[in-house]
Amino acid sequence: MTRQLGSGKLVIATHNAGKLKEIAALLEPYGLDCISAGALGLAEPAETGTTFVENALLKARAAAEASGLPALADDSGMSAVALDGRPGVYTADWAERQWFEGDPGRDWFMAMGKVEGMIAAKGPDAPRDAWFSCVLAIAWPDGDYAVYEGRCDGQLTWPPRGNLGFGYDPVFVPNGYEQTFAELQPSQKQAISHRSDAFAKLTADQFGSS
């Protein structure tokens, strides 16, 4: 049986204020007091893993070891069948651009273009299937851990469509829909997203509810 968090303090291993707020809102109903790794002054470990599970675990473990508290981390990304699962853990790396020195911003349209170019190079019959993954990892200071993996399958379209969402959303059409993630309303996307799927698995296992 999976180790249970119970109630009390939980470190959220993110320096992203928006992500902390979203996760805290989901977990506070279960009596968890969420604190960000950034607020504790913890360093962000390098994401050296080759899978989402490895990256989520190394972030959760680093935060649990440094804080002495249970810690939750996530890792997520998009994988294309024609590219043997890439960009995968390199989802954000492919969007890194050096617009000018000292400004390593992200450009998601550049990243979408790279994905499209790599698939296009394989010819018109290359599969357009892709999936979004979200892995949530909980690590305890004694080394115990739990992992929950969410997934959303779909097809890559071109050119990008829609101005909602984030990342590769404008090229991803979830199965059963005609719109891209960037054309769907946030509530529609949330109902089927990889992130919701992972959180549903976590709360079902940890708190006996979805």
Q: How far is the CB of 185 from a second copy (least distance, A)?
A: 14
Residue 48 or 100 having the CB closest to a second copy: 100
17 labelled binding-site residue? yes
Rounded Cα distance, 168 and 87, in Å: 11
Rounded Cα distance, 156 and 16, in Å: 28
Q: Where do contacts with a second copy occur on this chain (CB under 8 A)? A: 94, 96-100, 107, 109-122, 159-163, 170, 183
189 labelled binding-site residue? yes
Q: Which residues pair with 149 in a beta bridge?
A: 135
| Measured CA distances, 140 to 67, 68, 118, 190 (Å) | 10, 8, 40, 28
Residue 45 or 88 having the CB closest to a second copy: 88
163 labelled binding-site residue? no
Q: Which of 118, 110, 117 is nearest to 84 (CA)?
A: 118
- Which residues are catalytically annotated? 75
145 labelled binding-site residue? no
Q: Which of 73, 80, 203, 204 is nearest to 132 (CA)?
A: 80
Q: How far is the CB of 180 from a second copy (least distance, A)?
A: 10
Residue 77 or 170 having the CB closest to a second copy: 170
Task: Write out the binding residues for substrate.
Answer: 14-19, 76, 166-169, 189, 194-195
